[in-house]
Chain A
Amino acid sequence: MPPVQGYMYPNEIELAWSILIVVYPYITGLVAGAFILASLERVFHVDAVKPTYRLALLTALAFLLVAPLPLQLHLGHPERSFEMYLTPHTSSAMAMFGFVYLWYLMAVLLLEIWLDFRRDIVLLSQRTKGLKRVFYRVLTLGSTNISESALRIDDRVGYIVTVVGIPSAFLLHGYVGFIFGSVKANPWWSSPLMPVVFLFSAMVSGIAAVLLVYMFSTWYRKKTIDMRCVDTIARYLFYTFLIDCSLEMLDLIHRIYEADESFRSLDFMVHTRLYLSQIVIQVYIGTLAPIVLLALTQLLKLSEKARKRIYAVAGSLVLTGVFAMRWNVVIGGQLFSKSFLGYTTYKIGLVTKEGLLTGVVLILLPLPILWALVKLLPPWQDAESLAPAGPVATQGDD
């Protein structure tokens, strides 16, 4: 396949948005999805998934902390990125990023984690020594009140934060879909469905990520996996995936039926340059295979072992498929010419600033961060983690 085929406008030959712009929506999608799963328990009282509640929040935080990195590495002038806070251009969806990110980090995720873990933080600040003690004491913000009524108030406020958090999570990832969906110059992107498709595939990836993290960490800690929990998560994964799949099918059928001026060029691109990533990886491996596997667990009575294996495999395939979806949107949208007369190639570097290695490292970076968070704020619901719930003597009481 020649590097450039047909006619591309001269400035279009080199791609402007690289793998880092694929990684960014992937990561924020995982954040939104993990948070939605956590909110299932908190707001919708799906008790079955309670074992993953705190873990899902920490997973979301780990990924959220990494999220700005691909963007900073991609910018021509990252040292000027604060301009988005100083003079955000309100007609630009991208200008929302700074504020939506900050809002979601501070007012939703950190606040919710702090409220839910506060009792543990206070206890840990009293029981640890040295640097760790300082760390926990700072986190308490100077307050050590963990009486019944205080914790009840925390619970109430946390509930409200989660309720506000759900549309915030939709906004955090939905705006990314809108960044693409609102570009009238690019027919591969321009669609009102784009934010919705992004959001549902984000939920799918986030749920799958929490499922895998829970299964792995339980196995690693040599505990028993709560089957009721993973069965419920898998069920939600399945239903969300069906919706996501239907939306993508709708987009495809609509394109083929209307066959507007861009159709022939896009169709050619999908059958040639995008074949591997779109048809093979996203559709066959990343969508059809996991749907069939998950459907099997819903329709047949399978043993615990079989279900665990299927969930692990399906979850991994889902994560691969959603990454491929992001790749196909971002890279695919730049492989064809806006003249509809030509195609180019994405020349990805290996160890350059925006290269393959950077992309892989950024996707994996949240894992050691999550490991550190789990060590600092243990999410496990098991008995021996901390003292049982109940009023603990605090300073200045009565």
Chain B
Amino acid sequence: MNISRRQMLILLPAAAVAWEAVLAGTPEASPNYKLTEHWWGMLVDIDKCIGCGNCVRACATENDVPEGYFRTWVERYHVSDYDMANPVVDSPNGGKNGFPPVLESGGKDFFVPKMCNHCADSPCTQVCPVGATFISPDGVVLVDKTYCIGCRYCIQACPYGCRFLNPKTHTAEKCTLCYHRITKGLTTACCEACPTGARQLADLKNPNDPIHAYLRTHEVQVLKPYMATGAKLFYHDLDGSVR
């Protein structure tokens, strides 16, 4: 390290104090966050995903996701040259430990990271009987785990399979778009851990957001568009065989 001892003596306490506030997680740490100024989404670039599983592990660490359940996961597709309708798909332990090495396979192979699509017209919030799951004013679909009664109707209603019942809290759970991070100016854990930039958080209300500009200039797709869910998880170069 070539920081001088003097600099360290000043830097360390300053950094520690700043971090106390962030670590404590109090709303006062982010007093400037205005709900109405944001509309969150995410971009996944299939061309960049290397299936390393960093995102799955990072999410599990950041959010205490129980073993065997997934707030995000990675699928590997093998599509033979002519048969787009019958891909071979696998996701060993959700891709958490990467994928077993496979060499040339005579077809098209690629990885597809999946997570909650934070739908603008979400079918899961529509069916909650008590109002425990909802879309926040800034576009994140969340679950109020002190209010959820654990009926699992939302799990049935999600077309993408991204919800599960947490076996410890007995409430429905899913990706929160790291709401506790994005409201503090940080990015999501999965985006932070992705080594290739395949996952990028997008603020669709911020004209200066580079991803917002990207969406305007590149072809993007969503999963199951015929479900009309208003999904805000955009994929670049998503193959038509992806389920």
Contact = CB atoms under 8 A, between A and B. Distances in A.
Q: Do chains A and B touch in the complex (CB under 8 A)?
A: yes
B25 interface: no
B149 interface: yes
B230 interface: no
B111 to A, nearest CB: 14
A84 B155 contact: no
Nearest to B74: A10
Contacts of B162: 9, 11
A338 interface: yes
16 contacts: A9-B161, A10-B69, A10-B91, A10-B93, A11-B69, A11-B155, A16-B152, A76-B171, A87-B130, A88-B129, A94-B151, A179-B153, A182-B127, A183-B157, A185-B227, A339-B161
B91 A11 contact: no
Contact of B149 (A80, A184, A334): A80
B73 A92 contact: no
**Interchain residue pairs A-B with the least CB separation, the first 6:** A76-B150, A9-B161, A76-B170, A339-B243, A185-B159, A95-B129
A10 B129 contact: no
A80 B172 CA distance: 14
A10 B130 contact: no
Interface in B18-69: 69
Interface string A85-127: 0111101111101000000000000000000000000000000
Interface of B: 69-70, 73, 75, 87-91, 93-94, 114, 123, 126-132, 147-153, 155-165, 169-172, 227, 243
Contacts, number: 121
A75 interface: yes
B128 A183 contact: no
Contacts of B169: 76
Contacts of A334: 156
Contact of B161 (A12, A17, A89, A184): A12
A140 to B, nearest CB: 37
A80 B132 CA distance: 11
B18 to A, nearest CB: 37
Contact of B130 (A76, A88, A339): A88
A290 B150 CA distance: 39
B158 A340 contact: no
Chain A interface, DSSP helix/strand/loop, else mixed? loop
Contacts of B158: 185
A298 interface: no
Contacts of A185: 123, 156-159, 227
B113 to A, nearest CB: 12
Contacts of A92: 126-129, 153
B149 A16 contact: no
